[in-house]
Structure 1
Amino acid sequence: MTISDLTPSVPTTFGGPDIPPMWFVVPEGFHPLPIAATPEERAAGAADFVRELFPNGDDDLWTPAALFYAGLAELMTEGGLAFSAMGLFGIDDGGIAHCSFTVSAVESDHPSVEVAALGLREIMTRDPLNDARWLDLPCGPAVSAVSMREITIGGEMTATGEDASLLTGQIQVYVPFPTGPFTAVFTLDTAAVDYWGEISDMTVAILRTVSFTPPEEQAAEGA
């Protein structure tokens, strides 16, 4: 599985009118969906998105695809997501491994990030399907919950016409904000479980870039 280094020039900025800003970096291969506040912004972003996702396409493909992804972005915006991306990575047989990556923020009136993380770990361990763990990230404490689930795909959607089982994996990480009463929720879902090790390493690498300090201040501190 081919995954590029986390070296884009500009980190992704996450935040909103009531949510303090947060920054993180994703590798090349992730294609952010056009989540935006207005229909006009979503339409423009969707047009750019489909041309990036299908560079060899044409208007017959791009036009309906842009409408679909603009509608999907609207649903995600209404659901509270502030960042969503599709990850497409080359694998050894020439195929593509796919994953989805989202980031949202939920209110959490915590007195400290440590207290928030302890409470989250307690909640996560109650689900026997979760592998819940404490994480010490550069930005502070976090809690991860990893799960594997088998889903059934109806025969009307398979090539054989028969029901099929598909194993999927999810990595969900909760990062309490030190700058406000919110917790960031990073979620990565994939059916490419044959590459679970690489996907897990990539997720950890993304999480280690999470910061609540503006990039310019980080650069000044590192100078």
Structure 2
Amino acid sequence: MSTHVTPTLSVLDDVPPLSFTTPEGFFSLPLAATPEDRAALAESFVRELYSRGDEALWNPAAPYYAALSEQLAHTGVSYSAMGLFSTDEGGVVQCALTVAAVETRQSDPEIAAHGILTALGSDLHRDARWLDLPCGPAVSCVTMREVTLSPEITASGAEERLLTGQIQVQVPFPTGPYTAVFTLDTASTEYWGEFCDLLIAILRTLSFRDPAADTSGPAS
């Protein structure tokens, strides 16, 4: 699975600045403030996501993604994207990426990260680990789940089991009492290692600096 990094900037609202880059192959879901804006953006999104489709595919898909973006906005998610990637065998694998900012009581990132690791590490069904990122300390947590698919939605017409994986990385802000929560979900677990590497590559671009300050130039 190959990806190419392109400059994609995402800044969360109402919290200190946060930015990161995502690789080529990610399509950002339209998160907007009003139903009218969500509907308009959803139409553009499905045409980009399914570029080889037509009106028969785009028209029913757009309301679904508009409703999904509304649901995500109500849960505090500030960035959401679908990742679609070609494999060497000619297939396609996908994942979902969301980013949220959660307010915390701790403004020291080192102390906050230790608290997160302690809380997540107490669950034996989770693999929680400490991470040292260029932007500071973080904690990763891996969860694997087996989902049962009913016969009505499987190609074989029989009940099937699907293994899904989630890697979540929590990164305390060094600029305020918030934690950035990156969550990647995929059912393409045969490419689990590649998806983990992909998320780590995104996190290595994570910055809490104000982009406007970086382009303002030296003070006169």
Deviation for aligned residue 1:58:
2.2
CA distance in 1, matches of 2:190, 2:53: 29
In structure 2, the partner of 1:200 is: 196
Amino acid at match of 1:47: E
CA distance in 2, matches of 1:149, 1:54: 28
In structure 2, the partner of 1:177 is: 173
Counterpart of 2:88 (choices 78, 87, 92) is: 92
Deviations 1:37-90 (A, max 9, x none): 111221121111011011122223222211111111111111111111000000
Counterpart of 2:134 (choices 134, 138, 144) is: 138
Report how many residues are paired.
217
Q: TM-score, normalised by structure 1?
A: 0.92
Amino acid at match of 1:165: R
Specify the SS of the correspondent of 1:159.
coil
Runs of 4+ in 1 over 3 A off after TM superposition: 215-221
Contact 2:20 2:203 in 1 (8 A): yes
CA distance in 2, matches of 1:142, 1:218: 24
CA distance in 2, matches of 1:186, 1:194: 21
CA RMSD of aligned residues (A): 1.7
Map 1:186-197; keep pairs closer than 5 Å: 186-197=182-193
Specify the SS of the correspondent of 1:97.
strand
Deviation for aligned residue 1:217:
4.8
Identical positions, percent: 54
Deviation for aligned residue 1:13:
2.1
Map 1:1-223; keep pairs closer than 5 Å: 1-4=1-4, 6-8=5-7, 11-17=8-14, 19-215=15-211, 217=213
Q: TM-score, normalised by structure 2?
A: 0.93
Q: Does the C-alpha gap of structure 1 residues 111 and 54 become closer, same or farther in structure 2, counting only changes over 3 Å? A: closer
Deviations 1:155-180 (A, max 9, x none): 22112222111111110000111122
Amino acid at match of 1:89: F
CA distance in 2, matches of 1:163, 1:143: 36
Contact 1:13 1:21 in 2 (8 A): no
Structure 2 unaligned runs (5+)? none
Specify the SS of the correspondent of 1:12.
coil
